[in-house]
Chain A
């Protein structure tokens, strides 16, 4: 498979924290995907499997950051309580213009796990890390998609 490797793509910094957590994220997510595939039966619903995959995505994000971050701790708590993972989705369509950055901070608090209990400074810090983690997870999922679908179209002949 000559597709670019997800975790070793950047060879400039082999030992940074991000590289380590990318590895953790990838292996956690892949193991979860494998488990989901193994435990899916022909009667499993598409939506149910999709929900499990989505949950696995957020779980691997949370585990890769571990206890180091407020957002990941909050996300882990949510996951362990088996609560439904809900995130606000509607794009901001405000009736009155939001002028002060404090108002937007309130909106942002609802989007970042653990946001409501963060002060403004902490919120900005945690948001940056959360975004980095989200983009990494999205790229991971795209890589997995590409690998599996390229296999499906070009099966290896024994």
Chain B
């Protein structure tokens, strides 16, 4: 990466990083001063992992729930009403 290119886009990168920060769940309140980009990226990685795990867990739970349902018309009603929402 040429130095000219990194000078031009450093502002853009900082803006993108702060956009990412706004998406992360608020954990413990940090003291004044900015968090390092490295720390933010690390938290971003952990957040993506935890979201993926939630998808896995919810898939398991939905699978278990569906196993207990054997009334086709009832499910159809649920799906229809959810699609209406």
Which of A30, A38, A53 is in CB contact (< 8 Å) with B82? A30
Chain A residues near B72 (CB-CB < 8 A) = 38
Do A132 and B23 touch across chains, with their CB atoms under 8 A apart?
Answer: yes
Q: Given the known inter-chain contacts A99-B38, A131-B48, please indicate yes or no for A26 contacting B66, CB distance below 8 A.
A: no
Chain B residues near A27 (CB-CB < 8 A) = 83
Do A108 and B44 touch across chains, with their CB atoms under 8 A apart?
Answer: yes
Do A98 and B78 touch across chains, with their CB atoms under 8 A apart?
Answer: no
Do B60 and A50 touch across chains, with their CB atoms under 8 A apart?
Answer: yes
Which of A30, A107, A108 is in CB contact (< 8 Å) with B83? A30
Q: How far is the CB of B29 from chain A (nearest CB, A)?
A: 21
Do B41 and A46 touch across chains, with their CB atoms under 8 A apart?
Answer: no
Please report the total number of B residues contacting A with Cβ < 8 Å. 49
The answer to whether A69 has its CB under 8 Å from any CB of chain B is: no
**A98, B61: Cα distance in complex, Å:** 36
Which of B13, B20, B61, B81 is in CB contact (< 8 Å) with A120? B13
The answer to whether A100 has its CB under 8 Å from any CB of chain B is: yes
The answer to whether B2 has its CB under 8 Å from any CB of chain A is: no
**A107, B41: Cα distance in complex, Å:** 9
Chain A residues near B9 (CB-CB < 8 A) = 121
Do A54 and B46 touch across chains, with their CB atoms under 8 A apart?
Answer: no
Do B59 and A134 touch across chains, with their CB atoms under 8 A apart?
Answer: no
**A98, B65: Cα distance in complex, Å:** 42
Do B38 and A88 touch across chains, with their CB atoms under 8 A apart?
Answer: no
B54-85: CB near A (< 8 Å → 1, else 0) gives 11101111111111110010111111011101
Do B56 and A54 touch across chains, with their CB atoms under 8 A apart?
Answer: yes
A81-96: CB near B (< 8 Å → 1, else 0) gives 0000001111110000
A residues sitting closer than 8 Å to B (CB atoms) are: 1, 5-8, 26-27, 30-31, 33-34, 36-38, 40, 46, 49-51, 53-54, 57-58, 87-92, 98-101, 103-105, 107-108, 111-112, 120-121, 124-125, 127-128, 130-132, 134-135, 137-138, 141-145, 147-149, 151-152, 155-156
Known: A38-B72, A121-B12. 7 other contacts (CB 8 A): A6-B85, A26-B82, A57-B59, A104-B38, A107-B42, A127-B44, A134-B55
